[in-house]
Structure 1
Amino acid sequence: MPPTSTVRSTGDYRADRRYEYARAAFDERDFEAAADLARQVLELAPDFAPAHAMLGRSLAEHGMRAEAVDALRRALALEPADELGVRLDLARLGALSPDEAITGGYVRALFDDYAPKFDQHLTKSLSYRGPELIADALRRACSRQTREYRFGLSLDLGCGTGLMAQALKGLCSSLEGVDLSPGMLEKAEKTKLYDALHEGELVSFLSGRAGAEADLVLAADVFVYMAALDAAFREAHRVLKREGLFAFTVQAHEGEGLILGEDARYAHSESYLRKLAETVGFTMVIFERVSTREDRGVAVPGFLCVLQR
């Protein structure tokens, strides 16, 4: 299901009530009732995209693929930014390439919805430890290279609420963050650990930076929402100074290339990451198997990389 905390209204009280009943039925896995109620909503409000999405998802659960795809495409046509995340549903149904499943609009809505409970849920419920693992890997990378474990200008991609900044507190002479979600940036601002925060997509953010200006580029669990990483690697390489470091985590894929997982996140293979790093011009300093979080008590496999410009 898509982000839910933002109140959506058809402008018709009767339709709104039916949509809430549809949501409740879907959550209870009564997909036939959810589909019927969604149709009732659309009789009153034909252009209400969430009801089209609800209808499509309910029909998909019944195995009615063609009808589900039609409803989901209607929802996407009404809201092309895809804050509802219907591209993910279309990809699961084979009606859209997995590489096109996740958009910035979906990620922004997801994390705006998530922001109020993000830190506690991630660190407590999911045992998230990505920033701490990256910080430790950077310490070891600096030791191997006999360089001081301190950094100049550092860029935190997908900075979220500022967990990466907390893990590197006092180690960066200047730290800037970028995130798609205004809600996340509001939380990051409260840490007082960033010299600047920017709302936007990370590749565009990097593209607007001067070449060879940064000492460190960070991406803690942000690439799970990106398919191809070519542009991100190229721009990270361009903005880094000579011998600057690029540290990130991803979810692991044991095959080749990348896949869109059942958890609506991308996973990348070791061969994909190593080849891309080499092609762009990075040197691999650290490549390790790690788990940055758990899913229902089970460690999610991932990779941690530290690359050098």
Structure 2
Amino acid sequence: MISTFRSSGDLIADRRYDYASAAFEERDFEAAADLARQVLELAPGFAAAHAMLGRAAAELGLREEAVGALRKALEIEPDDALGVRLDLAKLGALSLDEAITDGYVRALFDDYAPKFDRHLTQNLAYRGPELIADALRRASLKQRGNDRFGLTLDLGCGTGLMAQALEGVCASIEGVDLSPRMLEKAEQTKLYAALHEGELVGFLRTRQGSEADLVVAADVFVYMSGLDAAFSEAHRVLKPGGLFAFTVQAHEVEGFVLGDDARYAHSEAYLRNLADAAGFAVVVLEKVSTREDRGKPVPGFLAVMQR
């Protein structure tokens, strides 16, 4: 749940919302729901309180009230910075492929930016960029005879960890991310020729065909359900022989699923089918874990594909 807080405009309502949040964190869902209802009596247009009521009601098994409150929050803030679409999807009131929006991801990572690198590397043992860089060395030497690249596009670049892992092997790197605060961190690395704020498929559609040697996406497809457009556009912007490297969380059956961790997981068959449809040759597709969750490795796939 995103911690970003917006005032209701009423100091008493804000104080009661703080109490509701504390009760929710302590798993006293009855108190959280009651306090959220009190907040809404004072500030009926306060989206965060509707979201709090919906989440507490869901925990209490009050599905009808939960769905109604969550939908009201979404009506007030349709960009869904509060992430209530995820809650609606878990309640079966919204399809899984509609659960995560650009607005939610932007708010999530704007909130996360100040502690992102430290939390990933120290708390989650994140190593996605290093795994991708190693796989690219192996694949490029085998397929292209060298491990150097020209223009590289870093999708969902975040704070620039991928550029750091590829430092010295790319003539030029451009990054794109939804979060302006993450882009501020990426700018500080001084490794990017250009940084762009926006959604990655839309960004790729603005690029010229056959202009890039490499497209990378480290731990970004976990916030996307269907990857058809991303594969298609990555293929279009790559030069013949160019490489497309990425990580995903693993799903062992078919297609994709939305996990309890609020991330999408994709199956090997799904990735291979998309590769075939887009015109990619699969060079590397192996099981990896790029991070831990509660001390346990999260299953994933690492892929390198060639146009």
TM-score by length of 1: 0.99
Structure 2, unmatched stretches of 5+, are none
- Partner residue of 2:16? 18
C-alpha RMSD over aligned residues: 0.6
Deviations 1:50-76 (A, max 9, x none): 000000000000001111000000000
- Partner residue of 1:244? 242
1:79 alignment partner AA: E
- Partner residue of 1:153? 151
Deviation at 1:7, TM superposition (A): 3.5
Superposition pairs of residues 1-309 of structure 1, within 5 angstroms: 1=1, 3-4=2-3, 6-309=4-307
1:224 alignment partner AA: V
Deviation at 1:143, TM superposition (A): 1.9
TM-score by length of 2: 0.99
Deviations 1:2-61 (A, max 9, x none): x11x33101111011010111001000010010011011101110000000000000000
- Equivalenced residues, count: 307
2:16 alignment partner AA: R
Q: 145-154 or 53-62: which moved more?
A: 145-154
Q: 1:9 & 1:146 partners in 2: Cα distance?
A: 56
Q: 155-164 or 136-145: which moved more?
A: 136-145
Contact 2:144–2:241 at 8 Å: present in 1 too?
Answer: no
Deviation at 1:144, TM superposition (A): 1.3
Deviation at 1:134, TM superposition (A): 0.1
SS of corresponding position for 1:175? strand
Q: 1:57 & 1:136 partners in 2: Cα distance?
A: 42
Deviation at 1:146, TM superposition (A): 4.5
Deviation at 1:100, TM superposition (A): 0.5
Q: 2:5 & 2:280 partners in 1: Cα distance?
A: 45
State the percentage of identical aligned residues.
76
Q: 2:280 & 2:211 partners in 1: Cα distance?
A: 16
CA gap of 1:21–1:109, structure 2 versus 1, over 3 A, is same
2:282 alignment partner AA: M
Deviation at 1:145, TM superposition (A): 1.8
2:91 alignment partner AA: L
Q: 2:120 & 2:231 partners in 1: Cα distance?
A: 26
Structure 1, unmatched stretches of 5+, are none
* Runs of 4+ with deviation above 2 angstroms: none
